């Protein structure tokens, strides 16, 4: 039976033309794209609510995309392919994975080179766009329910995706789709109030550099002048950082002012390990510890917590859900 796939175009290098590259308007690009689609799928093309350079995407853009997907699910679509720019492709995938759980078959893809030539009249002589798209379509039709990233003949769990190279065709790494990966089991139906609340979501990620604790304290004091909703501290190694009583007191004060404090590691793979004595203060101060699959996944979890709970104390209660 022919699989019915909703193909949603959200912009990115995939749909760019000209020199220097600039996006072709979606109403002109999609008809050209349709001529290159395989005929063994029933593919319906849609324009995403927000089409932009992916480096300009924010949480509300991905929630609008989620809302579109969830509306299409009501029309009995179960298989989706999303064309998205590569700069924040991992973030888009992580947000979709956190909010959709395993309610559909969703595959995100993009490209390092445009689909069309400079004039936009024909397919480009050298491009990874058509291969990535065909692989994404095949994956959406055959992979188990979940959210994945398809790129350079690799299918990985979207929540684990990490962009490893700025320009190479083999640009992403992550946990292969064939390997089991724990997922958020609680989908969230996106409503207008979620989208509106997401517009003001302020999440700061502080990647520590070797510096004296006094300097870290000064940086945290600057952040404390206007606390964000979430402060992600990227520690060293397994999530370690050197602190003093003044730093701990300031972090606790930030929590009391509604800022969730989350400890993670700046190391791409391996995760956080709190077995060292130097990290005992994290437990004592009730700092949240990340066990997410990637930095983008941690961002997605923080966003979801922000939309579900108004107080940082509620994050403590539900962090392990």
CATH classification (class only), 4-173? alpha beta
- Consecutive sets of 10 residues in the chain, 321 residues long: mean pLDDT of each? 92 94 93 94 96 94 98 97 98 98 97 96 94 98 98 98 97 97 95 98 97 96 97 93 94 95 93 72 90 97 96 91 86
Tell me, what's the pLDDT at 278?
A: 54
Tell me, what's the pLDDT at 273?
A: 79
Neighbours of 183 (CB within 10 A): 18
User: Residue 14 corresponds to which tokens in the numbers above?
Assistant: 């995939």
Compute the distance between CA of residue 52 and CA of residue 61 in angstroms, rounded to an integer. 9
Fold match, 4-173 / 202-318 = yes
What DSSP assignment string belongs to 129-173? HHHHHHHHHHHHHHSPSEEEEEETTEEEEGGG-EE--SS-SS-EE
Compute the distance between CA of residue 66 and CA of residue 101 in angstroms, rounded to an integer. 12
Is the distance from CB of 45 to CB of 30 less than 8 angstroms?
yes
Tell me, what's the pLDDT at 280?
A: 82
* For the chain, domain boundaries: 4-173, 202-318
Query: Which pTM does this prediction carry?
Result: 0.96
Is the distance from CB of 304 to CB of 230 less than 8 angstroms?
no
Tell me, what's the pLDDT at 284?
A: 85
Tell me, what's the pLDDT at 279?
A: 72
Q: Report the topology of domain 202-318.
A: Rossmann fold (3.40.50)
Tell me, what's the pLDDT at 276?
A: 65
Is the distance from CB of 112 to CB of 40 less than 8 angstroms?
no
Tell me, what's the pLDDT at 2?
A: 80
């Amino acid at each position: 039976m022919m699989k019915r796939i909703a193909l949603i175009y959200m912009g990115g290098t995939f749909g760019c033309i000209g020199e220097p590259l600039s996006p072709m308007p979606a109403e002109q690009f999609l008809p050209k794209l349709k001529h290159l689609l395989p005929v063994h799928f029933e593919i319906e093309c849609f324009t995403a609510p927000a089409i932009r350079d992916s480096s300009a995407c924010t949480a509300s853009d991905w929630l609008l995309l989620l809302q579109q997907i969830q509306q299409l699910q009501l029309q009995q679509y179960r298989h989706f392919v999303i064309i998205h720019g590569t700069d924040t492709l991992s973030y888009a995938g992580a947000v979709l994975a956190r909010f959709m759980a395993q309610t559909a078959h969703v595959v995100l893809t993009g490209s390092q080179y445009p689909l069309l030539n400079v004039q936009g009249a024909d397919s480009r002589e050298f491009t990874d766009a058509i291969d990535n798209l065909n692989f994404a379509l095949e994956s959406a039709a055959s992979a188990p329910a979940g959210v994945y990233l398809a790129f350079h003949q690799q299918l990985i769990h979207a929540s684990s995706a990490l962009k490893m190279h700025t320009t190479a065709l083999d640009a992403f790494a992550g946990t292969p789709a064939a390997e089991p990966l724990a997922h958020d089991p609680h989908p969230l139906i996106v409503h207008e109030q979620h989208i509106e609340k997401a517009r003001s979501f302020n999440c700061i990620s502080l990647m520590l550099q070797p510096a004296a604790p006094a300097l870290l304290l000064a940086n945290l004091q600057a952040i404390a002048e206007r606390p964000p909703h979430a402060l992600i501290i990227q520690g060293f190694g397994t999530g370690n950082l050197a602190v003093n009583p003044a730093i701990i007191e300031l972090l606790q004060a930030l929590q009391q002012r509604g800022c969730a404090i989350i400890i993670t590691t700046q190391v791409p793979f391996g995760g956080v390990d709190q077995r060292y004595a130097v990290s005992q203060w994290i437990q004592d101060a009730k700092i949240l510890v990340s066990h997410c699959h990637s930095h983008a996944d941690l961002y997605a979890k923080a966003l979801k917590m922000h939309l579900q709970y108004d107080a940082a104390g509620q994050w403590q209660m539900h962090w392990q859900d």
